[in-house]
């Protein structure tokens, strides 16, 4: 991590502080998350485990590693499948990442230093073309906000080590005749990963609050600033 990167983080954090008021406006306290998010930088996020790596496909069908797809940034990683209809499952995780995406337009630190990653655990259906379509339309007017990568894997064999590495529980649902129904039972999980490819937090249903996610991302940026982005 060079001097230029450290200066970028330091400058961006100035805007992050200034964005505290818009954060309160964008994400007020609700019954769904009846707690106050801690102030960024007032706590530490321990290293939970190394972030697993493996082969994935980007939206153009190119084989890359998951670590390379993280693009040297802080990452919020969500395992999803596009056919999920559970409102407390993949649609919720994706909606929260959209909250972060739109908020990053107001926060240069997050826009420059965070990447969102949605990785499908249904490679039989979620091809690179499907994932590209799942992205949705780009804004007509260019805006400065964080990146978002939509990934899948070339096969279930390539997927399995990633699920195991992140301890992401996913099970296929079968009908009475033993046929796969195209649906999965799975845990809702979003992972915060630092630039050293280490998992720093894991969010389940009760804690997938955009206020908390933003506070955690800012906390890691402050940690990087203190360490000089080494």
195-225: per-residue pLDDT in tens? Answer: 999 999 999 988 899 999 999 999 999 999 9
Q: Which residue in the block uniquely carries the two structure tokens 């919720």? A: 92
Phi, psi of 77 (to 5 degrees): -105, 130
pTM of the complete model: 0.84
β-bridge mates for residue 118, sequence order? 78, 150
**pLDDT above 60 (res 19):** no
CA–CA dist 25, 167 (Å, integer): 35
Q: Is the dihedral of CA 215, 218, 223, 226 positive or negative?
A: negative
Q: What is the pLDDT of residues 41-87, one digit of tens each?
A: 999 999 999 999 999 999 999 999 999 999 999 999 999 999 999 99
> Which three-class secondary structure state does DSSP give residue 182?
strand
Structure tokens at 30: 């609700």
The two beta strands, 74-80 and 190-193, are antiparallel
Q: Is the dihedral of CA 84, 132, 213, 121 positive or negative?
A: positive
Provide the CATH number for the domain formed by 3-227 in this structure. Answer: 3.40.30.10
Q: Are 144 and 111 in contact (CB under 8 A)?
A: yes
């Amino acid at each position: 991590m060079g001097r230029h990167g450290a200066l970028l983080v330091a400058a961006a954090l100035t805007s992050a502080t200034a964005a505290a008021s818009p954060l309160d406006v964008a994400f007020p306290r609700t019954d769904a998350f009846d707690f106050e998010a801690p102030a960024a930088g007032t706590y530490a996020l321990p290293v939970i485990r190394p972030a697993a790596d493996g082969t994935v496909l980007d939206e153009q069908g190119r084989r890359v590693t998951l670590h390379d797809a993280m693009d040297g940034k802080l990452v919020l990683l969500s395992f999803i499948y596009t056919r999920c209809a559970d409102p407390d499952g993949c649609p919720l995780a994706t909606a929260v990442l959209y909250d972060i995406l739109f908020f990053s337009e107001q926060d240069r630190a997050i826009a420059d230093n965070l990447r969102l990653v949605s990785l499908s655990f249904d490679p039989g259906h979620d091809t690179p073309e499907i994932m590209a379509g799942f992205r949705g339309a780009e804004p007509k007017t260019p805006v400065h906000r964080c990146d978002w990568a939509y990934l899948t894997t070339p096969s279930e064999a390539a997927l399995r080590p990633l699920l195991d590495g992140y301890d992401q529980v996913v099970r296929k649902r079968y009908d009475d005749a033993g046929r796969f129904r195209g649906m999965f039972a799975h845990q809702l999980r979003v992972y915060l990963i630092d630039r050293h490819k280490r998992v720093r937090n894991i969010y389940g249903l009760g804690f997938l609050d955009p206020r908390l996610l933003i506070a955690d991302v800012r906390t890691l940026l402050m940690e990087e600033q203190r360490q000089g982005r080494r």
